[in-house]
Amino acid sequence: MKMRKWASLSLATIMLTAVLSACGGGGKANEEGQTGDSTSNKPVDITVLVGKEEIAKPFEEMVREYNELQDQAKVTIIPLAGANGYERMSTLYASNNAPTVISIGQELPLMQDKLLDLSDQEWVQHASAGTLDYATFDDKVLGMPMAVEAFGFIYNKAVLDEVSGGSFDPDSVRTVDDLKALFEKIEASGMAPITVSPLDWSLGAHFANIMFTNQSADRDERHQFLEEIKNGAVDLENNAVFNGWMDTFDLMKAYNSAKNAPLAAQYDEAPLYLADGQAAMWFMGNWAYPQIKEADPDGEYGFLPVPISNNPDDYGNSQISASVSLYWAIDKEQSTPEQQAAAKDFLNWMIGSEKGQDYYVNQFSAIPAFTNFQIQPEDSLSQSVLYYMDNERTLEWMNLYFPPDGFPTMGASLQKYLTDNLDRAGVAKEFEDYWKTKE
Amino acid sequence: MYNEKTWLGKLKVFGLFAAVPLFVFFTVVILPFLAGLFMTLTNWTGTGSYEFTGLSNYVVALRDSVFWDSMWLTLKYVLFTLLLTNVLGFGLALLVTSGLRSQNFFRAGFFTPNLIGGIILGFVWQFIFTRVLVYLGTEFNLGIFSSSWLADPGTAFWSLVVVGVWQNAGYMMLIYIAGLTGISASLTEAANLDGASYWKQLTRIRIPLMVPAFTISLFLTLQRSFMVYDTNLSLTRGGPYRSTEMIAMHVYNEAFVYQNYGPGQAKAFVLFLIVALIAILQVRAMKKVEVEA
């Protein structure tokens, strides 16, 4: 009896020690990764936190290929694992496990003290115009643009060709009246003109973006507007851009394929409607192309700007929102110089090598934010984005400057408007009230 | 309870049975709790340095009308799920202990929803609410199902209640079955001989003897409904327009999605106080009605 008791006690002790040493072991391995081992030729371990779930799979393949191609660095992916980007970043930083390479968007200003200055990198020279603005702090470039993302009215060319009797010219729609005439023509031919996906990010981040960018063609002036709305100095109800923008929203609401139950519309159905021609247009962005392609591999698609006035020359009526929303950044706080160098190499390979570019363009369906890419996207929707970019007809993504609760709040107001639970004055008031709290 | 007389003997038993759980409990519950409490007094943003800001996070949290809307919604949700889950659970328990032929099959069937994870369950029900019911509604012209229940704040709330009840009623049924079968047969036999009706037996003998089962079930449903997150996330994501954001989701969003760590954590602490208070009151009230046979 006595014997048995001692046996179980020692067993418990062993287990406890095992638990404790496991923790210690983890810490040690971590430390090793921190200090690096420059004397031997062991590859440097670097980690990448990827926030874009859509490209997770091809990204994994790309990393595997990169690891096989060279022996200087070994890249490991840290998945988001269901958490949101900022949550994951803060836990990794707090546990002294900061990722070497981070995909980062709206969190950039919060994290700027921790990120490496990348201004000396070659790609800085080749970045498309304006794409570095958001990632530049005190003249230091802290992020490498991931990809250009664009949104506007996506249209199914075959459907619009049929409706307009001939090849549809996207430049023919420049005013709210043009848009209305087009919607009427589509409806007359028995189709739903447009799908409005009632998601808070689509309405509150993307559609709302247009109201801010179209305030002025001058970057400083429109950012001034953002400051003024925070100070409560903006009277939205009497703002011409706001009213024109709501006029367009009224049209979208009236010709919505789901107008009987606007909030019941499902995101997954919209690309199918668009591909089948059940709805001729969709307010969305080029990230939805993989789903559209799946439903209609040979179809031709393009972007239409969102017009907000009846003067075709007004700023925004011939531009689509196209910008970079995510950047690659490198940690400088917890990563060793060796790790930082390896991370720079990895980023350069990703956008500089033929393999990396191929993955970028063909596997991630990304539109490169660099002018020197050898491989260019060939699908019709990307071509449409490139057309607007080449002609410098793009709008900034000002929603990157919205506070984190900006899109859910403004999205909620627009959702209420869609279901007639709020009128135009109400939207104006809710927007103003929200922004006043952000002074 | 212990036979050990010496100090060393007591220490051995403690080390054997309590040290590891206590260590784990301390590191994963007590420490984070204290760290969280500390965090509410600072302006920490998740990374980097911080300053003490006194009680300003609590002021921000308590002044936020969305927080109170969410709290009110959660209380409403708790009230309805608490009542419906336990009524249904108890009803099912009576049904499957009444001597039906296939009662084991039914027991398993009613319990199954509890084995499905909340996220999956939410998606299954999302499909039912947005597709199946809408299809039936339009096909057979049923007004209440003609559009998705999840698209309207009022019906979205009831969808959450339906799913919550459906998920938990089976589990509570199991507890009530245990309570019912635990009642000594001699008591019901005696009541039968005395000519007590089924209803009388239920209200005068069975229910009073089952108060411990009610205490557990009420406590569990209370806690589960207050802390509901997974079905809320996969069923409505707080939509439409943040009208079905339950308190747990609200706290999470405040801290991590809207990146207001301080106020978010302060709200979590306020929530803790409210839930702890309600739970203590409930258990205390139930203790008073417990009887011994």
Classify residue A261 by its DSSP letter: S
Q: What is the pLDDT of residues A343-373, one digit of tens each?
A: 888 889 888 888 888 888 888 888 888 888 8
Assess contact for A170 and A303: CB atoms under 8 A. Answer: yes
Asked if residue A251 and residue A313 are part of one domain, the reply reads yes
pLDDT of B292 reads 65
Q: Looking at the complex, report in whole angstroms how far the Cα of residue A3 sits from the nearest Cα belonging to chain B.
A: 14
pLDDT of A368 reads 87
Asked if residue A96 and residue A55 are part of one domain, the reply reads yes
Asked if residue A290 and residue A161 are part of one domain, the reply reads yes
Tell me the mean pLDDT in the region A65-91.
Answer: 84
Residues pairing with A46 in the sheet = A75
Q: In this predicted structure, which of A73-82, B44-53, B63-72 has the lowest mean pLDDT?
A: B44-53
ipTM value greater than 0.90: no
> Which residue in the block uniquely carries the two structure tokens 């001058």?
A218
Whether B240 sits inside 8 A of A415 (CB atoms) is yes
DSSP characters over A179-200: HHHHHHHHHHTTSEEEE----H
What sign does the dihedral B131-B132-B134-B136 (CA atoms) show?
A: positive
Q: In this predicted structure, which of A148-162, A216-230, B84-98, B116-130 has the lowest mean pLDDT?
A: B116-130
Q: What is the pLDDT of residues A199-209, one digit of tens each?
A: 888 999 999 99
Q: What is the pLDDT of residues B11-43, one digit of tens each?
A: 888 888 888 889 999 999 999 899 888 888 888
Measured CA to CA, the distance from residue B143 to residue B146 in angstroms comes to 5
Residue B242: closest CA among chain A residues belongs to which residue?
A: A412
Q: What are the residue boundaries of the structural domains of chain B, listed by start?
A: 64-289
Say yes or no to pLDDT of B264 above 60: yes
Instruction: Kindly give, in sequence order, each residue whose CB lies less than 8 Å from that of residue A90, ignoring residues fewer than 6 positions away.
Output: B45, B46, B47
Measured CA to CA, the distance from residue A145 to residue A368 in angstroms comes to 8
pLDDT of A36 reads 42
Tell me the mean pLDDT in the region A317-322.
Answer: 90
- On whether residue A48 sits in a domain, the answer given is yes
E strand segments, A20-118: 44-49, 73-78, 101-104
Asked if residue A216 and residue A79 are part of one domain, the reply reads no
pLDDT of B30 reads 92
pLDDT of A417 reads 92
Q: Looking at the complex, report in whole angstroms how far the Cα of residue B83 sits from the nearest Cα belonging to chain A.
A: 29
Measured CA to CA, the distance from residue B242 to residue B249 in angstroms comes to 10
Number of folded domains in chain A?
A: 2
Q: Cα B9 to the chain's mean position, in Å?
A: 41
Measured CA to CA, the distance from residue A248 to residue A242 in angstroms comes to 10
The four Cα atoms A95, A99, A100, A103 give a dihedral, to 10 degrees, of -140
Q: Is the minimum CB–CB distance between A56 and chain B shorter than 8 Å?
A: no
Whether A16 sits inside 8 A of B150 (CB atoms) is no
- On whether residue A2 sits in a domain, the answer given is no
Measured CA to CA, the distance from residue B290 to residue B210 in angstroms comes to 8
Say yes or no to pLDDT of A318 above 60: yes
Q: What is the pLDDT of residues A237-263, one digit of tens each?
A: 899 999 999 999 999 999 998 888 888
Q: How many DSSP H helices and E strands does chain B contain?
A: 16, 0
Asked if residue A284 and residue A317 are part of one domain, the reply reads yes
Q: Looking at the complex, report in whole angstroms how far the Cα of residue B259 sits from the nearest Cα belonging to chain A.
A: 7
Confidence tier at A28 by pLDDT (50, 70, 90): very low
- What's the CATH number where A136 sits? 3.40.190.10
pLDDT of B26 reads 92
Assess contact for B181 and B97: CB atoms under 8 A. Answer: yes
Whether A94 sits inside 8 A of B15 (CB atoms) is no
pLDDT of B198 reads 83
Say yes or no to pLDDT of A181 above 80: yes
3-class state of residue A46 by DSSP: strand
Cis? peptide before B240, omega within 30° of 0:
yes
Give the domain range for residue A58.
Answer: 39-147+326-371
Q: How many CB atoms lie within 10 A of CB A343?
A: 27
Q: What is the pLDDT of residues B173-231, one digit of tens each?
A: 999 998 888 888 888 888 888 888 888 888 888 888 888 888 888 888 888 888 888 88
Chain A residue numbers with beta carbons less than 8 Å from the beta carbon of B147 are 260-261, 264
Q: Cα A437 to the chain's mean position, in Å?
A: 25
pLDDT of A21 reads 43
Asked if residue A392 and residue A282 are part of one domain, the reply reads yes
Tell me the mean pLDDT in the region A410-434.
Answer: 91
Please give the CATH topology (third level) of the domain spanning B64-289: MetI-like fold (1.10.3720)
- On whether residue A105 sits in a domain, the answer given is yes
Classify residue A310 by its DSSP letter: S
Q: Where are the alpha helices (DSSP H) in A255-331?
A: 269-276, 289-295
Structure-token pair, residue B251: 């706290």
Q: In this predicted structure, which of A17-26, A164-173, B33-42, B218-227 has the lowest mean pLDDT?
A: A17-26
What is the greatest pairwise CA distance in chain A? 96
Nearest by CB: B148 against A16, A113, A264: A264
Q: Looking at the complex, report in whole angstroms how far the Cα of residue B138 sits from the nearest Cα belonging to chain A.
A: 12
pLDDT of B139 reads 80
Mean model confidence pLDDT for chain B: 85
pLDDT of A6 reads 52
A279, containing H or E segment: strand A279-285
Asked if residue A124 and residue A47 are part of one domain, the reply reads yes
Asked if residue A357 and residue A245 are part of one domain, the reply reads no
pLDDT of A10 reads 52
- On whether residue A293 sits in a domain, the answer given is yes
- On whether residue A69 sits in a domain, the answer given is yes
Radius of gyration of chain B measured on its C-alpha atoms = 24
Instruction: Kindly give, in sequence order, each residue whose CB lies less than 8 Å from that of residue A178, ignoring residues fewer than 6 positions away.
Output: A172, A307, A312
Say yes or no to pLDDT of A19 above 50: no
pLDDT of A4 reads 53
Mean model confidence pLDDT for chain A: 84
What is the percent of chain B where pLDDT is above 90?
Answer: 13
Measured CA to CA, the distance from residue B154 to residue B240 in angstroms comes to 10
Asked if residue A177 and residue A266 are part of one domain, the reply reads yes
Say yes or no to pLDDT of B87 above 70: yes
Classify residue A51 by its DSSP letter: -
Q: What is the pLDDT of residues B88-136, one digit of tens each?
A: 999 988 888 877 788 888 888 888 888 887 788 888 888 888 888 888 8
Asked if residue A197 and residue A134 are part of one domain, the reply reads no
What is the phi-psi region of residue B141: left when phi exceeds 0, alpha when psi lies from -120 to 50, beta otherwise?
Answer: left
- On whether residue A34 sits in a domain, the answer given is no
CA atoms within 13 A on the CB side of A250: 14
Asked if residue A215 and residue A255 are part of one domain, the reply reads yes
Report the 3 state secondary structure along A101-146: EEEECCCHHHHHHHECCCCCCCHHHHECCCCCCCCEECCEECCEEC
Asked if residue A120 and residue A51 are part of one domain, the reply reads yes
Nearest by CB: B130 against A266, A413, A419: A266
Measured CA to CA, the distance from residue B140 to residue B131 in angstroms comes to 14
Q: Cα A145 to the chain's mean position, in Å?
A: 11
- On whether residue A45 sits in a domain, the answer given is yes
Q: Give B176: exposed, middle or buried? Use CB within 10 Å, 0-12, 13-18, 19+.
A: buried
What is the percent of chain B where pLDDT is above 70?
Answer: 97
- On whether residue A338 sits in a domain, the answer given is yes
